[in-house]
Amino acid sequence: MGFLMRHNLRTEGGGAVNQRIVTQLVKSLQNQSSDIRLVSERVLWWVFREEETPSMEASLIKPLLKSLLDNTKDKNTSVRAQSEYTIVNLLRLRQGDTTMQVRMLT
């Protein structure tokens, strides 16, 4: 799913990601198994780690962000930490808060 998501973002832009991919990632982020949540977070971290990968539309980011924020309260330290790293990449916080402001206020 990560390779497909990254390919779609790079070739067709932020709105090109299929809603079904986002839905499956959200389900994985909400799974009872810490290992599955951790792998899902790492996949999202990998997709958005490079600056040339465009951001997704706000309607696609919001469900992912909600699940990631829920995982920041997890008792497993690895899941909690990876969730925070993933949020930083997803919202492009290292480049400033422009993406967060633009995507979350629309």
Which tens digit of pLDDT belongs to each residue from 50-75? 888 888 888 889 999 999 999 999 99
Q: What is the pLDDT at residue 101?
A: 60
pLDDT value of residue 96: 67
Q: So what's the pLDDT on residue 56? A: 87
State the Cα–Cα distance between residues 82 and 41, nearest whole angstrom: 6
Entry pTM:
0.85
Q: What is the CATH number of the domain that holds 25?
A: 1.25.10.10
Residue with tokens 């995982």: 71
- Residue 104 has a pLDDT of 55
Q: Which residues of the chain register pLDDT less than 50?
A: none
Instruction: Check residue 17 and give its pLDDT.
Output: 86
What does the DSSP 8-state code read for residue 99?
H
The CB density around residue 101, as the number of other CB atoms within 10 Å, is 11
How many domains, the chain?
Answer: 1
73 DSSP assignment: T
**How confident is the model at residue 95, as a pLDDT?**
72
21 with 4: CB under 8 angstroms?
yes
Domain with 100 in it: 2-105
Q: Which helix (H) or strand (E) holds 40?
A: helix 34-47
